[in-house]
């Protein structure tokens, strides 16, 4: 992992995510790109576009100076402003062009509200991003990642772990594999055997495996995350058909909506 792409709109939530990304960049280490996208207006509003771009560049310079003051080397950061929307295009085109390994975005936390709604822009980026997306709640303390909870239905656990473990290794983190067994679920394999196979297939010993009963997947996952004092929750988002997109919310979106820790979403 060498490049973190931070999408910012300069809100307090985005600033929190920027500082979190800077902490990760120091931990890895990695290069940091701060990116702001402004909408394109008609040719009659060209002066407005120019003014928005100038203001954005000033704000990005200020953000960069703040991070340098906190110890992140100036040469490890770049800033950019583009006139491009929607954000799914930003995620797809810019992330690929910059060879980003991870996109970082801010979400509203739940410490000040009973519920929180994941921003539509974050959902768009999760939907189309060619790289994993890290959704950072605005009330999460800025610290390193040493413990990851990976929630799985076990159907593709070996494939998904092969994707996740390189990130865990880069962070120097352990991985707690969690399966929530619903009532009547008798398909869970022997824990000891599965754990041995996961460690051997990934050449990584810092893996544990837990099964927790529960009807509410979201609540069971968040309860386990709190109990283990995890620094990060990893989930894999599988493609939804058109009916599911219209009438339901994916589990990854539900989890991100109410997360107490940053959520790392892999799109499959």
What CATH number has the domain bearing residue 27? 3.40.50.620
How many domains does the chain contain in total?
2
Q: What is the mean pLDDT of residues 17-22?
A: 93
pLDDT tens for each residue of 43-66: 555 566 678 888 999 999 999 999
> Which is more confident, 77 or 82?
77
| The model's pTM | 0.85
> Which is more confident, 262 or 187?
262
Question: Is residue 110 pLDDT above 60, yes or no?
Answer: no
Last-in-domain residue among 112, 137, 162: 137
pLDDT at position 239 is 63
pLDDT at position 258 is 56
> Which is more confident, 250 or 23?
23
Instruction: Evaluate whether residue 142 is within a structural domain.
Output: no
What does each C-alpha distance from 168 to 111, 113, 172, 185 come to in angstroms? Answer: 27, 31, 6, 29
Q: Domain check: are 104 and 182 in the same one? A: no
Q: Domain check: are 111 and 200 in the same one? A: no
pLDDT at position 115 is 36
Q: Exposure string (b/e) for 63-75, b if CB count within 10 Å is 16 or more?
A: bbeebeeeebeee
């Amino acid at each position: 992992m060498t490049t973190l792409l931070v999408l910012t709109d300069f809100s307090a939530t985005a600033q929190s995510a920027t500082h979190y990304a800077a902490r990760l960049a120091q931990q890895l280490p990695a290069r940091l790109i701060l990116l702001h996208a402004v909408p394109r207006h008609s040719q009659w509003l060209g002066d407005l576009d120019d003014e928005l771009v100038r203001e954005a560049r000033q704000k990005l310079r200020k953000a960069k100076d703040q991070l340098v003051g906190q110890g992140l080397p100036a040469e490890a950061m770049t800033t950019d402003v583009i006139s491009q929307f929607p954000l799914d295009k930003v995620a797809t085109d810019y992330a690929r062009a910059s060879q980003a390994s991870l996109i970082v975005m801010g979400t509203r936390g739940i410490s000040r509200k009973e519920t929180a709604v994941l921003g539509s822009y974050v959902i768009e980026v999760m939907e189309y991003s060619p790289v994993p997306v890290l959704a950072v709640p605005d009330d999460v303390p800025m610290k390193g990642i040493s413990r990851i909870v990976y929630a799985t239905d076990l159907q593709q656990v070996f494939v998904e772990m092969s994707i996740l473990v390189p990130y865990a290794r880069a962070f120097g983190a352990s991985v707690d594999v969690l399966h929530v067994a619903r009532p009547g679920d008798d398909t869970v394999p022997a824990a000891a055997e599965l754990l041995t196979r996961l460690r051997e297939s990934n050449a990584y010993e810092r893996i544990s495996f837990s099964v927790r009963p529960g009807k509410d997947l979201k609540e069971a996952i968040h309860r386990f995350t709190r109990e283990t004092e995890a620094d990060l929750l990893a989930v894999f988002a599988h493609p939804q058909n058109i009916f599911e997109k219209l009438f339901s919310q994916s589990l990854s979106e539900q989890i991100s909506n109410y997360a107490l820790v940053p959520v790392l979403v892999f799109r499959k």
